Structure 1
Amino acid sequence: MASSSHRRRPRPEQDFQWRPVRGPLLAVAAVAAVALVVTLIVAFRPGDASGGGQDRAVSDAGAVTSATVSDSASPTSPKPSATASTPTAGKHTTPPASATPSTTATRRATSGTARTPSTTTAPAAGRIRPGTTYDGVATSYDVGNGDGACLFGPTDDVMTAAMNTADYETAKACGAYVSVRAASGKSVTVRITNECPAPCAVGQLDLSQQAFAKLAPLSAGRIPITWSLLSPATSDTISIRYKTGSTQYWCGIQAIGHRNPLARLEVRTGGGWLALTRTAYNYFLSEQGTGCGAELRLTDIYGEQLVVPALAVRADVVQRTGVQFARH
């Protein structure tokens, strides 16, 4: 091989100096011939099929493809998949030719999501989330006939409470059941029927006097508490009520008796479902009359949806639906 000095300063006489001679050529040819003979001997040794290396390459590629489509770990794989130890129906069945790894993964993710405990996945939960314990204080007030800002109407059920404005969240807390526990260990379950405005602080519950008395004497006035959301057992079903003054041209719609907090109320229209705006007094309004008297779709904070058949627009009349959200 030429030195770097020869590359930098080529001269005409170098052509003669570097012209190949016959002696070296003969030596190179002899070495090449010996190498060729050795190669042929190795290639045709007994026990080696012709083209065996290529066959092995194709087989390995096929094994990778099969593992990908069937989505199962190879027996010799040093790192089995995380789901390999959890048998599922049809796990080792070869999928149809049309199935692709991405499609299989999507189906598995969807079913997995459906099996996930709702208390950890409340997709429509607002400030009050399942499985969360909140710190606050409890005060008390005279509930009178049991009605409140949620406009559920008079009731004999006095195990109720008013939620502070922040956690009331424009009536999203209306109808929620919460378990309240005092430092003494005593507890009571109440339903949110009212709003407690300032000076009620975040986390504060203004309990009915009857509910407060379950935790401490009324003379205590103000006690530290913890509280959390419940999804209680109930035999009741959800009812629908159209607000006073509702017609086919304007209406307010309210759901009553739902087990879990209501996240959304929609009405059926010619173009699909339309979500109505919720008011602080717990009615969903259709200002232009869209969907008044049509099918309704209710969604709780866990994402469960219930479709209610069309009901007549009967103002201030409670109409039962026969449906209820699942318990969590």
Structure 2
Amino acid sequence: MSKRWLFLSAAAVLIVVSLALVLLPGDKNGEDVKAEAGRAATGSAANSPSASGTSTVSAAPSARATDASKKPSTTPSAHPTATSATPSATKPRQQAAGTASLAGRIRPGVTYRGVATFYDADGGGACLYDPGHDVLTGAMNTTDYESSKACGAYVLVHAAGGATVTVRITNECPGDCAPGQIDLSAQAFAKLASPSAGRIPITWNLVSPSTSDTISIRYKTGSSRYWCGIQAIGHRNPLARLEVLAGGTWRQLPRASYNYFLSESGSGCGGAIRLTDIYGEQLTVPALAVRPDVVQSTRLQFAKH
């Protein structure tokens, strides 16, 4: 073979190989692979613990921050609902309003000023309680007696010098007894001052004493199923209402100045009785037989305040 032919053959082979290298897709993909490898290397370096950690540390907390930012937007909106549904915030206001509306002139937490005198308190008095073993009693002036609303109330009387005595109101002091004045039993007055003083300045306030006694009920003389008068005896706190159950409905009875609640038509006579004190507490006495002028005991008593 001639040298010229060998040269031409070698040149042709080189041309074919060059064309093949140009036309092969591997070059273009190779560039892509290199670029992808470069990006992968960059990303790997950014996420590597040896890197600054900006991508790794900031990415995870950003997701938690987003979740946390959602919680405040939902949690506070639930709190007002829970608060408004909680009755503890409204109870004190309701109780105060109830106390103000149920109490008469003599109210809890109020200090009254007046004078104390004394009298022979052997009888039962205007409240028509039976004379009992308790000799520490008082007759309330007509204004504060308030048509028998003061009957059965306990008041703590303070005299100059610090002497005190607690008395139960069983009577009315009419005539010249001024508002704030209490005509005490002789025994009660003696605990404050010498009887020779006759008349002393005092302050007094309503109290809710400790007691082991329970409330009793008495039907007035002449009571029947056609007409009755009902009296509550021995209640710790002043009585605000007395109701009778008539026809499935509680009916409030009016209170006479002699401390009986009257059912003129006989409604509820002999049925259940509901008592309410000035603090709003209610006690239900089961039905009692109409037994005129007989004291019938219960197991009930108002709470101490």
Query: Normalised by the shorter chain, which TM-score bucket?
Result: 0.7 to 0.9
**Does structure 1 residue 323 correspond to structure 2 residue 297?**
no
Q: Which residue of 2 aligns with 1:200?
A: 177
**Does structure 1 residue 277 correspond to structure 2 residue 259?**
no
User: Structure 1 residue 198: deviation in Å?
Assistant: 2.1
**Does structure 1 residue 159 correspond to structure 2 residue 168?**
no
SS in 1 for 2:99: coil
Q: Which residue of 1 aligns with 2:146?
A: 169
Specify the code of the residue in structure 2 equivalent to 1:69: A
**Does structure 1 residue 126 correspond to structure 2 residue 104?**
yes
1:174/1:247 CA distance change after superposition, 3 Å: same
Are the equivalent residues in 2 in contact too, given 1:150–1:174 (CA < 8 A)? Answer: yes
1:218/1:119 CA distance change after superposition, 3 Å: farther
User: Structure 1 residue 267: deviation in Å?
Assistant: 0.6
Are the equivalent residues in 2 in contact too, given 1:119–1:131 (CA < 8 A)? Answer: no
Q: Which residue of 1 aligns with 2:18?
A: none
Q: Which residue of 2 aligns with 1:189?
A: 166
Q: Which residue of 1 aligns with 2:232?
A: 255
Q: 1:166, 1:107 → 2: CA distance?
A: 43
Percentage identity across paired residues of the two chains = 65
**Does structure 1 residue 228 correspond to structure 2 residue 237?**
no
TM-score (norm. length: structure 2): 0.73
Q: 1:70, 1:105 → 2: CA distance?
A: 6
Are the equivalent residues in 2 in contact too, given 1:120–1:131 (CA < 8 A)? Answer: no
SS in 1 for 2:152: coil
Q: 1:233, 1:151 → 2: CA distance?
A: 23
1:234/1:114 CA distance change after superposition, 3 Å: farther
Q: 2:254, 2:200 → 1: CA distance?
A: 36
Cα RMSD, aligned residues only: 2.8
Q: 1:286, 1:195 → 2: CA distance?
A: 24
Matched pairs, number: 244
User: Structure 1 residue 218: deviation in Å?
Assistant: 1.4
Q: 1:307, 1:199 → 2: CA distance?
A: 39
Q: Deviations over 1:5-55 (max 9, x none)?
A: xxxxxxxxxxxxxxxxxxxxxxxxxxxxxxxxxxxxxxxxxxxxxxxxxxx
Specify the code of the residue in structure 2 equivalent to 1:279: A
SS in 2 for 1:248: coil
Q: 1:304, 1:67 → 2: CA distance?
A: 37
Structure whose CA Rg is larger: 2
1:295/1:130 CA distance change after superposition, 3 Å: same
1:228/1:66 CA distance change after superposition, 3 Å: same
Q: 1:119, 1:156 → 2: CA distance?
A: 35
1:204/1:318 CA distance change after superposition, 3 Å: same
SS in 2 for 1:278: coil
SS in 2 for 1:70: helix
SS in 2 for 1:277: coil
Q: 1:183, 1:301 → 2: CA distance?
A: 29
**Does structure 1 residue 296 correspond to structure 2 residue 273?**
yes
Specify the code of the residue in structure 2 equivalent to 1:290: S
> Which 5+ residue runs of structure 1 have no aligned equivalent?
1-55, 72-100
Q: Deviations over 1:259-311 (max 9, x none)?
A: 00000000112242111000110000000001101111100010000011000
1:112/1:326 CA distance change after superposition, 3 Å: farther
SS in 1 for 2:224: coil
Q: 1:166, 1:311 → 2: CA distance?
A: 34
**Does structure 1 residue 264 correspond to structure 2 residue 273?**
no
User: Structure 1 residue 234: deviation in Å?
Assistant: 0.3
Q: 2:96, 2:184 → 1: CA distance?
A: 25
Give every structure 1 segment of 4 or more consecutive aligned residues whose post-TM-superposition deviation is greater than 6 Å: 59-62, 115-121
User: Structure 1 residue 117: deviation in Å?
Assistant: 11
User: Structure 1 residue 114: deviation in Å?
Assistant: 4.4
- Give 1 or 2: higher helix fraction: 2
> Which 5+ residue runs of structure 2 have no aligned equivalent?
1-65
**Does structure 1 residue 135 correspond to structure 2 residue 113?**
yes
